[in-house]
Chains A and B, each alone.
Chain A
């Protein structure tokens, strides 16, 4: 089973050192929360792990291999959802979801698309342009992506922002199901999440 290991990661932005000597592991079937005050570097930590931001030092390994070396292999096993969800205003929820999954080489069937959007409560409005959706509804497009994406590692940055309590519960059950299937997740959040957390990484500002 695949394990994500972070060893003595350090990163700074400009002159500010955000964090240093951060080490932890995320094993299959568990999720690790990243917590800390605003500006403590949670997003930067997640971006370093995903491979978007280059850390000052330290290593990230997946399956025993450095993620920068395994490249595409790691990227296809990982799903990263940042603050900006990558949703195009001109396209409908269904089109956005289909595009996002086609990019990840997992094009969904029409049936699967309809079902997943129905499951997150967007069934009736799946064909209207995303610009007319609320912030929470746009988040739900991201949740439908979690349903369909085959990735084993989720890296999620504040997944509960703008979601109502029903949405939060839905996210918790999605996460639970993902873990039961042997998936793992690294989640930066201020909220309490229903699923049992394996470990917590605390960043101090």
Chain B
């Protein structure tokens, strides 16, 4: 069994055993996205205009919520050093953990997003673009978040530091993701935004796992 498969299967099993965290992330997403129409008022015009942006911000904050635990609990109970000392290369199991994190948080958010976006009266094409943008964007959020989470391991006040590090890095993903849905809604082509997101995901999936490994090595030293 490769390190990737081991870490992926184990982290998903842990998430399944201890579903509180995943449920909290999903509940946060659903609640906040549903509170907006109540707060801003039920004017269809306004809702349609802010809809995709609100969904994206909610997804981003929900993804951020789950970041702190990505490496921290394994670091605290010594599992991380056992993984580092296993015969498997670090990039393998670290990527496995990131993919499992996305499967447990980013994927449910993406699946729920069209349903929530219907509250904002978005048309079918915009719903599709929004969901496709999230398919490309949430893995990138998990990758960026993993690098930040690994960097803040063992630091005091890690939570605040994590927010300061991760949220600015999430901004381009938010701009292009929400931009794609906006372009679609106003009758333009969303493909430039989506292409940039996809390019970001490709570059991120090449460049970020080595960065995560370097940060983990520093944390374990």
Interface residues of A (CB under 8 A from B): 50-54, 72-73, 75-76, 78, 80, 82-91, 99-100, 102-105, 107
Contacts and interface: CB of A to CB of B under 8 A. Distances in A.
Given A52-B221, A107-B1, A88 B78 contact: no
Q: Is the interface of A mostly helix, strand, loop or mixed?
A: loop
A62 to B, nearest CB: 13
Given A82-B78, A83-B78, A91-B17, 7 more contacts: A76-B86, A80-B85, A86-B78, A103-B3, A103-B6, A103-B86, A104-B86
B88 A103 contact: yes
A91 B16 CA distance: 11
B191 interface: no
Contact of A86 (B1, B81, B87): B81
Interface in B67-115: 76-79, 81-89
Given A84-B77, A103-B88, A107-B1, A90 B221 contact: no
Interface residues of B, number: 23
Nearest to B75: A84
A87 B10 CA distance: 12
Nearest to A53: B221
A133 to B, nearest CB: 13
B188 interface: no
Given A52-B220, A53-B221, A86 B82 contact: yes
Contacts of B82: 80, 86, 100, 103
Contact of B79 (A53, A83, A88, A105): A88
Given A103-B6, A103-B88, A80 B1 contact: no
Contacts of B156: none
A53 B220 CA distance: 7
Q: Is the interface of B mostly helix, strand, loop or mixed?
A: helix
A81 to B, nearest CB: 9
A85 B87 contact: no
Given A52-B220, A75-B86, A90 B14 contact: yes
A91 to B, nearest CB: 7
A88 B86 contact: no
A75 B87 contact: yes
Given A84-B76, A84-B78, A99 B87 contact: no
Query: Which 6 residue pairs are nearest across A and B when measured between Cβ atoms?
Result: A84-B78, A76-B87, A86-B78, A86-B82, A86-B79, A90-B17
B77 A102 contact: no
A88 B14 contact: yes
B14 A80 contact: no
A53 B86 CA distance: 15
A60 to B, nearest CB: 14
B87 A88 contact: no
Contacts of B18: 90
A82 B18 CA distance: 25
B6 A88 contact: no
B81 A82 contact: yes
B77 A51 contact: no
A72 B85 contact: no
Given A84-B76, A88-B14, A105-B1, A54 B221 contact: yes
Contacts of A85: 77-78
A87 B3 CA distance: 18
Nearest to A130: B77
Given A84-B76, A99-B10, A103-B6, A72 B81 contact: no
Contacts of A72: 87-89
A52 B87 contact: no
13 contacts: A52-B220, A53-B220, A76-B86, A76-B87, A80-B81, A82-B81, A83-B78, A84-B77, A90-B17, A102-B1, A103-B82, A105-B1, A105-B88
A38 B144 CA distance: 39
Nearest to B82: A86
